[in-house]
Chains A and B, each alone.
Chain A
Amino acid sequence: QVQLVQSGAEVKKPGASVKVSCKASGYTFTSYGINWVRQAPGQGLEWMGWISPYDGNAHYAEELQGRVTMTTDTSTSTAYMELRSLRSDDTAVYYCARDGGWLPELAALWIWGQGTLVTVSS
């Protein structure tokens, strides 16, 4: 079945970096975009950005520009999200989510990973 399986929880110190993985299975990895969404404790959903596994093209939320990098490895059907210079307010559950295909009208988020808790604390 189609699924996204994310890496496990992380605890990081302020100023460090974290890299979360999202392994896809059950579909052709390069045919669908991967979005990253985060959710701080008790808060709503925040869209972080999107990457095309087909060509590596990525779009990031403006407030994360310069701190976030999204990449993919097509040989293992895995997407990665790296966030640098971590702050306490980066503490959140990070989700990867697959869209419905390349057409703009298919950009809703059909399939979600289980989430990865990243805790930033000194």
Chain B
Amino acid sequence: DTGVSQDPRHKITKRGQNVTFRCDPISEHNRLYWYRQTLGQGPEFLTYFQNEAQLEKSRLLSDRFSAERPKGSFSTLEIQRTEQGDSAMYLCASSRYRGTDTQYFGPGTRLTVL
């Protein structure tokens, strides 16, 4: 059973540039979540999808952030006009929708904004 995969694993960018991350969930999972984790903190919820529908967005997700899951499979998270405060680990998780099911996490994408 293939786990959650994320690409790239590391991204270094200059302030003001746009970046896009990809997440491939476990194949039979129809829920997909994005979290952000800064140094020394626990992950914080950003948004989640059920199939292709984005059902909730955290107030942490500013207008510069956009997430999509166009075919209900993989998802992308784009950050426009990056700021140094966006430097963090971006984690993706997936789960089945069956009552409450466990979220399984990918390895994360570490973003460094210079």
User: Do A and B make up one complex?
Assistant: no
Chain B residues in the interface with A (C-beta under 8 A) = none
